[in-house]
Amino acid sequence: MAIRPRGTHFLVDVTVKGVRRTTTASTADAAQLAEAELRATLLREIGADTAHKDTWTLKQALDKTIAISWSDKDSGPQLTRNGEEVVEILGPALLVNRVTTDSIDTLVEVLQDKGQANGTINRKLAALSRILTIAQQRGKLDRMPHIQRRDEAQCRIRFLSKEEEVMVLGILRQWGKEDQADAAAVLIDTGLRPSELWRVERRDVDHQVINIWKTKNHRARSVPMTRRTADILLRRALTVPQGPLFPFNNWWFGNAWDKVKAHMKMTHDAQFIPYALRHTCISRLVQRGVPLKVVQEWAGHTIITTTMRYAHLCPTNLLDAVRVLEVEA
């Protein structure tokens, strides 16, 4: 339906040959007029665009982005889904040089109508930005449109208490899931991303550190080992001399995690997920006074802003500062 109510106004949504545009009108009559004008405008633009052969459609730009930027990433499937949704909304046949700030406003409105939160919308906008950047780098787009990210509320960082850690590891070992228990302990002590742990081999373990070669941001790093981690990895190396010490995947670990979560009656806690093990390590480093710059290097954060999300967990400096106010002049 090209015209549909939205609150006290009418949404006009027109697609011509895969190119989509929307606008709003205050009355039904104005909406019908706006629909005719939008359709005529699109037909003129599409006709004019036939002369521009040295450019890409959004679908072509998406396909190129998937091939050279997303296909080799662990997050590739999700990035691809985000990109596909964006292209479907804007129109696969829309030329990249026809993507304007108004087009992006339309995209945001449609995503909001779907009930998506600002954080989710920002992931979609990031996908669009990457698609257009690839097109620009290859001479198919002269100028990038402005993409305004949405404000996001800071979410609570979920990490395990010491009691929860003991319960998780104890349940796994009680159920005979020794591999999963070993993995959970190492994730807690190292802060590795689960996908990074599944790639660790014996040759990557060098006395006091684990060398991580393939990471989310493509930057290798070395992570120190606690005694517990060293004992686990060296023990596993005796039975797995070659290849990954944890030859598993996220589904394998997540399946066991969900059963433990249900057993602990934690199903109501949406943030009680395997990634909370990484948050646990990083949070403990911050809480115990490790400088944020060191934590950033340990965790493999590209920018310090990501690490700063944990800064509030260590209010020691603020407590020291407030004591200054308590001193009488």
| pLDDT for res 54 | 74
**What are 178-220's pLDDT values in tens digits?**
999 999 999 999 999 998 999 999 999 987 899 998 777 678 8
Q: Verify that 107 and 209 share a domain, yes or no.
A: no
Asked which of 35-49, 109-123, 214-228 is least confident by mean pLDDT, the reply is: 35-49
Taking phi over 0 as left and psi of -120 to 50 as alpha, with beta for the rest, 243 belongs to: left
Residue 116, class by beta-carbon neighbours within 10 Å (0-12 exposed, 13-18 middle, 19+ buried)?
Answer: middle
Is 116 within a domain? yes
- Give the Å distances, CA to CA, from 200 to 186, 194, 218, 247: 11, 10, 15, 9
Q: Verify that 115 and 180 share a domain, yes or no.
A: no
Q: Verify that 176 and 267 share a domain, yes or no.
A: yes
Band (pLDDT 50/70/90 cuts) for residue 263 is very high
Q: At which of 101, 120, 137 does a domain end?
A: 137
Q: Verify that 168 and 84 share a domain, yes or no.
A: no
Is 321 within a domain? no
Is 323 within a domain? no
Q: What is the CATH number of the domain that holds 229?
A: 1.10.443.10
| pLDDT for res 297 | 92
Q: Verify that 40 and 172 share a domain, yes or no.
A: no
Q: pTM value?
A: 0.62
With a pLDDT cut of 70, the percent of the chain lying above it is 89
Q: At which of 137, 171, 204 does a domain end?
A: 137
Tokens 């097109």, residue located: 135
CA gap 196, 87 in Å, rounded: 31
Q: Verify that 288 and 171 share a domain, yes or no.
A: yes
Tell me if residue 244 falls in helix, strand or coil: strand
Q: Verify that 113 and 233 share a domain, yes or no.
A: no
| pLDDT for res 149 | 87
Number of domains within the chain: 2
**What are 25-79's pLDDT values in tens digits?**
778 777 777 777 777 777 776 665 544 557 899 999 999 999 999 988 777 888 9
Is 149 within a domain? no
Q: At which of 137, 170, 192 does a domain end?
A: 137
Q: Verify that 233 and 266 share a domain, yes or no.
A: yes
| Residue 329 scores a pLDDT above 60 | no
Q: Verify that 311 and 223 share a domain, yes or no.
A: yes
| Segment 316-323 mean pLDDT | 65
Residue 160 near residue 277 (C-beta atoms within 8 A): yes
Q: Verify that 27 and 132 share a domain, yes or no.
A: yes
Band (pLDDT 50/70/90 cuts) for residue 150 is confident
3-class secondary structure for 291-304?
A: CHHHHHHHHCCCCH
Is 36 within a domain? yes
Is 147 within a domain? no
Band (pLDDT 50/70/90 cuts) for residue 320 is low
Q: Verify that 176 and 111 share a domain, yes or no.
A: no
Is 150 within a domain? no
Q: Verify that 169 and 304 share a domain, yes or no.
A: yes
Is 243 within a domain? yes
Q: What residue numbers bound the domain in which 75 lies?
A: 3-46+53-137
Integer distance in angstroms from the first to the last C-alpha of the chain?
72
**What average pLDDT does the chain have?**
86
